[in-house]
């Protein structure tokens, strides 16, 4: 197995425009990995179909998600960027791992409960078993590190449990992955309800700042952000909204809480929210410009997809050959 460097895997669903939470908590941090790690970044379109999708929109968002990866700084020459459904081993391993995943484990997944409540008319088997597909995504590449938000730790724990269970039955087959949770910007909260994580599926557009929002929209959303009845820019009990804005401002400017408090001492929330909006808009402007350029070159994006899928498949096939042999499947021979 390809192990000259430690391996990182992460995937993003093409089921909505990514937010600054995705950017600050995940994608922006990915750019630091390639020097010391081999990185697989996947557009997980198979995960997206647990909820009904409009086919044309899913195809468009798949291109957009890949373009955003690149626009956010992930160089296809230094990272393996690919689309999940282009590597059939993901689905094959997911089925095998379904047979090593307990019903009780899946029934405890909080995200299944949340999505079932939101999509009560479509509680399908894929929605229930998709943590096994997520485990397959990770284990297929003998992944060492998985960048995850704190809300995804439960799924990674299940992936670890599945790997250890399989290894216990058949001897060492999978690397048991570890979570990577960055300290800064790991959890960006809703601008409308700062007790909840910012979500790309939020129906309240004022709650979410998307990477591709235009400058005016970004600044407008921050000006409408929920704070509290006071006026002092500092963290504290009952100041979740201000604390969230401080986290965002810090992530975009690199300033500490002490520096932020000093900068806005006596200036009030209005000036602070405007400054956060300006900092966010300034940081995202080059990302959006590069995204627009990439979306105008569909052939380039398809070339990246093809190259990434070929690289991913080469290493996925090695794992699958080992798995098939361990569980007793006969390897298919090429025809004469």
Predicted confidence (pLDDT) per residue in 284-310, tens digit: 999 999 999 999 999 999 999 999 999
Instruction: Judge whether residue 122 has pLDDT over 90.
Output: no
Question: 245-274 as b/e, with b when 16 or more CB fall inside 10 Å?
Answer: bbbbbbbbbebeeeebeeebeeeebeebbe
280 SS3 class: helix
Question: Can you point out the beta strands (E) in 172-239?
Answer: 178-180
pLDDT attached to residue 41: 96
* Catalytic hit among 5, 197, 223, 307: 197
Q: Smallest Cα–Cα separation from 112: which of 100, 126, 96? A: 126
Residue 73, by phi and psi: left (phi above 0), alpha (psi -120 to 50) or beta? left
Q: Is residue 275 part of a domain?
A: yes
173 SS3 class: coil
What residues pair up with 82 in beta bridges, in sequence order?
42
Question: How much is the average pLDDT of 124-149?
Answer: 92
Q: Is residue 321 part of a domain?
A: yes
Helices (H) and strands (E) in the chain, counts: 14, 5
Predicted confidence (pLDDT) per residue in 195-239, tens digit: 898 988 888 999 999 999 999 999 999 999 998 878 888 888 888
CA–centroid distance for 62 within its chain: 14
The token duo for 47 is 């995960």
Based on the fold, state whether residues 109 and 216 are members of the same structural domain. Answer: no
Q: What is the DSSP string of 1-22?
A: ---SSEEEEEEE-SSSPPBHHH
The percent of residues in the chain predicted with pLDDT above 90, rounded, is 68
Tally the domains of the chain.
Answer: 2
CATH of the domain at 254: 1.10.240.10
Question: How much is the average pLDDT of 7-11?
Answer: 94
* Catalytic hit among 6, 78, 200, 322: 200
Q: Is residue 198 part of a domain?
A: no
Scanning the structure block, which residue is given the tokens 């979570």?
179
pLDDT attached to residue 51: 87
Domain that holds residue 303: 6-181+298-327
* Catalytic hit among 115, 221, 273, 288: 115
Based on the fold, state whether residues 147 and 231 are members of the same structural domain. Answer: no
Predicted confidence (pLDDT) per residue in 158-167, tens digit: 999 999 999 9
200 is catalytic: yes
Scanning the structure block, which residue is given the tokens 């599926």?
201
The token duo for 247 is 């986290």
Contacts of 251 (CB under 8 A, 6+ apart): 24, 184, 185, 188
Predicted confidence (pLDDT) per residue in 174-188, tens digit: 999 998 876 654 578
197 is catalytic: yes
Based on the fold, state whether residues 229 and 117 are members of the same structural domain. Answer: no
Based on the fold, state whether residues 224 and 153 are members of the same structural domain. Answer: no
Based on the fold, state whether residues 67 and 150 are members of the same structural domain. Answer: yes
251 SS3 class: helix
Query: 230 vs 43, which has greater pLDDT?
Result: 43
Q: Smallest Cα–Cα separation from 176: which of 192, 159, 193, 188? A: 159
80 SS3 class: strand
């Amino acid at each position: 197995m390809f192990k000259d460097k430690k391996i990182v895997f992460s995937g993003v669903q093409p089921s909505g425009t990514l937010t600054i939470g995705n950017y600050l908590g995940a994608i922006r941090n990915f750019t630091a990995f390639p020097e010391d790690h081999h990185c697989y970044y996947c557009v997980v379109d198979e995960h997206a179909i647990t909820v009904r999708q409009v086919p044309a929109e899913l195809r468009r968002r798949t291109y957009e998600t890949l373009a955003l990866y690149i626009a956010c700084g992930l160089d296809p020459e230094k990272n393996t960027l690919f689309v999940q459904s282009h590597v059939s081993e993901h689905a094959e391993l997911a089925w095998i791992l379904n047979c090593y995943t307990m019903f009780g484990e899946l029934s405890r997944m909080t995200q299944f409960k949340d999505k079932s409540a939101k999509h009560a008319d479509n509680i399908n088997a894929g929605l229930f078993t998709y943590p096994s597909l997520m485990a397959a995504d990770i284990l297929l590449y003998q992944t060492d590190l998985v960048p995850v938000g704190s809300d995804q730790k439960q799924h990674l724990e299940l992936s670890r449990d599945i790997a250890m269970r399989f290894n216990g039955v058949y001897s060492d087959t999978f690397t048991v992955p570890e979570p990577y949770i960055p300290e800064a910007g790991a959890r960006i909260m809703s601008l409308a309800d700062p007790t909840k994580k910012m979500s790309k599926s939020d129906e309240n557009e004022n709650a979410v700042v998307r990477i591709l929002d235009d400058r005016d929209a970004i600044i407008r959303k921050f000006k409408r952000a929920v704070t509290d009845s006071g006026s002092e820019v500092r963290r504290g009990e009952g100041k979740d909204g201000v604390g969230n804005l401080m986290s965002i401002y810090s992530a975009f400017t690199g300033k500490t809480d002490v520096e932020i408090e000093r900068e806005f001492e006596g200036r009030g929330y209005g000036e602070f929210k405007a400054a956060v909006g300006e900092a966010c808009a300034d940081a995202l402007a080059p990302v959006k410009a590069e995204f627009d350029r990439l979306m105008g070159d569909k052939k380039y994006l398809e070339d990246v997809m093809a190259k990434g899928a070929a690289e991913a498949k080469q290493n996925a096939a090695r794992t699958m050959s080992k798995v098939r042999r361990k569980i007793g499947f006969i390897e298919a021979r090429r025809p004469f």
